[in-house]
Chain A
Amino acid sequence: MESSLIASAHESSVVTDAARSNSLRARSSQVRSFIRVLAATGLVLIAAAVAAAQDENKKIGRSDDPTQLSLDQLMKSEIYSASKQWQKVAEAPSSISVVTADQIKKYGYRTLADILRSVRGVYVTNDRNYSYIGIRGFARPGDYNTRVLLLVDGHRLNDNVYDGAYIGTEFPVDVDLIERVEVIRGPSSSLYGGSAFFGVINVVTKTGHDLDGTVVSFEAGSFGTYKGRVSFGESFKNGLDAVISASFYDSAGHSKLFFSEFDNPSTANGVAVDADRDRYHSILGKLSFRDFRFQTVYGNREKTVPTAPFGTVFNDPRTETIDRNAFVDLQYAHTFQNKWDLTGKLSYNRYAYNGNYVFDYTGAGTPPFTENKDSARAAWWGTELNASKKLFEKHRLTLGLDYRDNIQQDQRNYDQDPYLPYLDDRRQSNVVAFYAQDEFKIRRDIIVSAGVRHDRYSAFGTTTNPRFALIYAPQERTSVKVLYGEAFRPPNFFESYFYSANREAQPLSPETIKTGEVVLEQYIGRRFRISASGYINGIHGLINQQVDALDRIIYANVGSVQGHGLELEVEGKWFNGFEGRAAYTLQRSTSEETGEVLSNSPMNLAKINLTAPLGQRRLFASFEGLYSGPRLTLSRTTLPASFVTNVLLVSQRVFKGAEFSFGVYNLFNTRYSDPGGEEHRQAAIPQDQRNWRIKLTYRFGEVR
């Protein structure tokens, strides 16, 4: 495989040089008009919020005494309970977004990628194989989400060969089992170590108490897509909380996909037939009893790759990737009499990747073709100890120890028939880290939080990363945060050892990022929350592919990027069930070497999410609008702006215990494409047009 990979990647990096930014200017007027509409919407929403707040104060008013309400009146009252979550968000030393189970249901999100797409400042690129996260204007081609730390209930999911985070159908947790997703922006290496470069995504799964019984769910959608799930969850009287769930998914995919780059009689006129299949099955089990929690997650995803990456044969459905993630995790959390909170974790993790790539080495265009097998086997033990205590009333001190023993980090590549091995790289390594953080409440309204973490990687050495936050909350409804953080992204084993040039060269160094940020969070009335943040990023030592003196591919610490941006979000919640969110991000990220704007880095991103109840809280209609400004491809062509609209109807109770939803995604049939990575001949990969899904969920034995 090495030979073929080298060839295709080398060629595309040569093509990359052609800059064509004229089209960016040509499209800017359209962008401006959209911004105007968006700004107007924002103003109307804010005005409405202020009006609503005033109206509310008149109605309920501070002078009204809730203790004079009767029991019956109290039972009927709507409770404003979101504040707890928002309070946590307001006090956190970062800018945080939370997507809840309720939103996942109401907006009909099908994958973690769908969920992340709705988050302010985040965009997701898909190449019909994997999904790639872009945060704050940064989405490198061929980056398998190595610069974002993905956690499931606090457990690290990034593997130890690619450091990849899997967020599409390859994410091993069914989205229906997610209680909430927390997106923590900014560098968090001072707490989490490597990968927490642009942010941390923590997926919190449901407990037995949340699931409360046996649930079966079935869905069907466009492109021959079917999914089934069976879950059981219960919180028992003796304090045991149990969850067990299994999911199956099979999507035939597009029966025909057209790629104009292959529009040639020798490559099936650019039409890939039945080459888009996507299947997975996943299992989640969780047991909590008193201070202990045991959790296991398993997911296996098989995807046929229709895009002919790496110069493989076009329209050959044997080209596929298989990704398997699994872990078991045991956690002990206890608060001791002397008020120390102690958490201990022990986990065993496995990740396996099998790629099957069909090559036509002879170039004859006719079989027999050669199947190239590309694979990775990863296994690691993880342990973590975390202790925290409140000291002298005003301090909260947190100390931690993190140890990862990477017992297997193997990569292999060979041609099957005739057998020809290219790579059989077997490795082990370990990482040990210490961290400390202090949260100091200087005054009632000022919190200073400072932390530092020291990591020692057996593969390349040590790195130390600090973080500092000042949180000023003059009143409960306002908080201002000033944040500074540094983070690193360790070179992964693919970059370090896949190519022979790297195996012979000096070890790579970690990439580094320094971020400064100011965040304002403000409540208006009881229903609205506004967040605004401005940030500056400086990224150095980016690991990029190059060609060495012997004309071989080599990864080297060569790139630097400067980025800055502004994010704005308005969230509103009403008690009749109406909810809405509007977010806008303006950013610019440029390469320090060339001064050019990065590829796949939209200057403008905007999102609108609205849910409205239609009669008695049983039926909800949701609207989601996702706007992305123009983006450059790797070959410096400009992809036009896109606006994708998703709508969903969900009925909470069609009949006792049953829930039904119908969603239409990309309602207006917008044609749009995402930039392709270096492994693709396509500079841009067309995305799904209008498609739908129906879903029926039934809960057994529902009484109420």
Chain B
Amino acid sequence: MGSPVKTDYHRVYSAVCLASHRGSQAAQLCVGMVVIIASCAICRSAQAQTLNEYEAKAAFLFNFLKFVDWPAQAFADDNAPLVIGIVGDDKSSERIEQLVSGKSANGRQVVVKRFPSFKQLTYCHLVFVRASERERLPQNLSAVRSGSLIVGESESFARWGGAINFSIKDGKISLEINQKSAERAGLKISAKLLSIARIVKD
């Protein structure tokens, strides 16, 4: 083998130096452009209506109370509250509770209860199942008492026995509703709510 001689390297090196100097000016130009674009975008963006994920979900849950009919026997008396139960572990559950509890819907006070898992769950008008509970969903959901609107945020939730599921794509929330699940629970979902959702079947 001939020994590798590296004398030619200097020539390339100076050529690359020259080229790169030109590149650096281009770079500065780019950075300038970028700053301008960035500032424009910031100005524009202020007009968009934005919500945190938990804020949107809290607002939807609260709205569901108004668009679903519970039978009279779901309440002990006329003054009995509407109970939302949140199952599972999520930091934002507490914030959802803060946003919703104490408000009133359909002339009833809204109460929020939180449960670490399905085991502790007692009867609630609306059961919101956090994503942390997606294991063994079909079994757990089938054990939830009739008369509860089951809402979730997990893949295939509405197919596995949930009535309503949140899914988020491209920064928008969408609803999947399984009407059969709601009917099985003895609940009626209003046409208005159905009209904005994607209907799924078991």
Contacts and interface: CB of A to CB of B under 8 A. Distances in A.
Contact of B156 (A40, A84, A235): A235
B107 interface: no
B2 A610 contact: no
Nearest to B95: A476
A516 B82 CA distance: 52
Interface in B155-170: 155-156, 159-160, 168, 170
A44 B55 contact: no
Interface string B27-70: 11011001101110110111011111101101110110001000
Contact of A44 (B35, B99, B196): B35
A643 B3 contact: no
Given A38-B31, A75-B196, A30 B1 contact: no
Given A45-B38, A48-B39, A640-B17, A34 B4 contact: no
B38 A610 contact: yes
Contact of B136 (A27, A335, A686): A335
B45 A52 contact: yes
A83 B92 CA distance: 11
Given A67-B62, A668-B26, A670-B19, A59 B46 contact: yes
B143 interface: no
Contacts of B23: 642-643, 668, 670-672
Nearest to B201: A237
A671 B49 CA distance: 45
A578 interface: yes
A575 B45 contact: yes
A347 B9 CA distance: 47
Contacts of B11: 260
Q: Which of A77, A335, A672 has the most CB of B within 10 A?
A: A77
A33 B20 CA distance: 14
Interface in A477-504: none
Nearest to B64: A71
B5, B24, B91, B155: most-surrounded residue (chain A CB, <10 A): B24
Contacts of B39: 44, 48
A80 B37 contact: no
A668 B11 CA distance: 22
A69 B34 CA distance: 36
A67 B196 contact: no
Given A74-B60, A311-B1, A81 B38 contact: no
B78 interface: no
Contact of A261 (B4, B48, B53): B4
Contacts of A549: none
Given A81-B168, A670-B23, A574 B48 contact: yes
Contacts of B62: 67
A442 interface: no
B171 interface: yes
B50 A526 contact: yes
A672 B59 contact: no
B76 interface: no
B15 interface: yes
A311 B2 contact: yes
Prevailing SS type, chain A contact patch: mixed
B199 interface: no
A625 B26 CA distance: 11
Contact of A71 (B12, B155, B193): B193
A199 B27 CA distance: 30
B66 to A, nearest CB: 9
Contacts of B12: 260, 673, 684, 686
A60 to B, nearest CB: 7
Contact of A260 (B3, B9, B28, B171): B9
Contacts of A4: 1
A55 B44 CA distance: 11
Contacts of B17: 27, 640
Contacts of B193: 71
A34 B20 CA distance: 12
A623 B34 contact: yes
B4 A8 contact: yes
Contact of B171 (A73, A74, A78): A78
B16 interface: yes
A463 B144 CA distance: 50
Nearest to A682: B9
A263 B9 CA distance: 11
Contacts of A635: 6, 9
B184 interface: no
Given A52-B46, A65-B99, A576-B45, A625 B31 contact: yes
A37 B9 CA distance: 31
Interface in B108-142: 135-136
A11 B3 contact: yes
A114 B108 CA distance: 57
A632 to B, nearest CB: 12
B51 A66 contact: yes
Interface string A46-79: 0011011001100110000111111111111111
Contacts of B168: 79, 81
Contacts of B3: 11
Contacts of B13: 23, 637-640, 684
Contact of B24 (A69, A209, A643, A673): A643
A612 interface: yes
Contact of B196 (A72, A83, A363, A670): A72
B16 A672 contact: yes
B121 to A, nearest CB: 15
B9 A684 contact: yes
A542 interface: no
A78 B20 contact: no
B20 A670 contact: yes
Interface string A306-342: 0000010000000000000000000000110000000
B185 interface: no
A416 interface: no
B53 to A, nearest CB: 5
A557 to B, nearest CB: 27
A608 interface: yes
Given A7-B1, A45-B38, A235-B156, A526 B52 contact: yes
Interface of A: 4, 7-8, 11-12, 15, 23, 27, 30, 33-34, 37-38, 40-41, 44-45, 48-49, 51-52, 55-56, 59-60, 65-81, 83-84, 87, 209, 235, 237, 239, 260-261, 263, 311, 334-335, 359-361, 363, 476, 526-527, 572, 574-576, 578, 580, 608, 610, 612, 617, 623, 625, 627, 635, 637-643, 645, 668, 670-673, 681-684, 686
Given A67-B63, A68-B59, 7 more contacts: A56-B50, A66-B58, A261-B4, A574-B48, A610-B34, A641-B24, A670-B20
8 contacts: A37-B31, A66-B51, A87-B91, A261-B8, A526-B52, A578-B44, A608-B31, A623-B34
Q: Which 3 A-B pairs have the closest CB atoms?
A: A671-B19, A681-B4, A643-B27
